[in-house]
Amino acid sequence: MPKRKRGITGDAASRREAIRKRERRVVETEEERSRRLSTMAQRGQDRRAEETEEQRNSRLSDMAQRGQERRAEETEEQRNSRLAVMGQRSQQKRAEETEEQRNSRLVIMAQRGQERRAKGTNEQRNSRLSAIVQHARERRLTVIEGQNHHQIQTFYTARTVLN
């Protein structure tokens, strides 16, 4: 018969330790909090600097998987909120960037587009070109509808003036 353990078991000990850590964080000053977070960030950077390509790919794959799972479980309201926050952040970031940073960002975007198109199959190319043509048709129709609306308004205005 195994000997009975005295004191608390490992699980209980780690639970108590977690509780103590939380209690310490509640009363820490802003400076202590800043120091703790900075230390954590530095440890993470050090760990990532030493990881192999395989470990890095595995870590990024795990992160992507968790993100997909989280997004799959979110409600429509949560999704809209997340997308709104993302939009505000990118808008703020673009508002603060210099002309040079903007040009650099646009060059990188253009290069990525070229690379993506170069890798694409003929089928993908044809599909992309078809979408471009369709979009142009829709734009022309919108312009024509706008012109027609303007002509109709002008006609009614002229008729009212003549009467």
- pLDDT attached to residue 146: 82
- pLDDT attached to residue 161: 76
- pLDDT attached to residue 133: 95
The pTM of the full predicted model, rounded to 2 decimals, is 0.42
CB 33 within 8 A of CB 25: yes
For 57-88, the DSSP string reads HHHHHHHHHHHHHHHHH--HHHHHHHHHHHHH
- pLDDT attached to residue 13: 83
- pLDDT attached to residue 27: 87
Taking 50 as the pLDDT cut, the residues of the chain under it are none
**End-to-end Cα spacing for the chain:** 111
Other CB atoms within 10 Å distance of the CB of residue 28: 12
CB 71 within 8 A of CB 79: yes
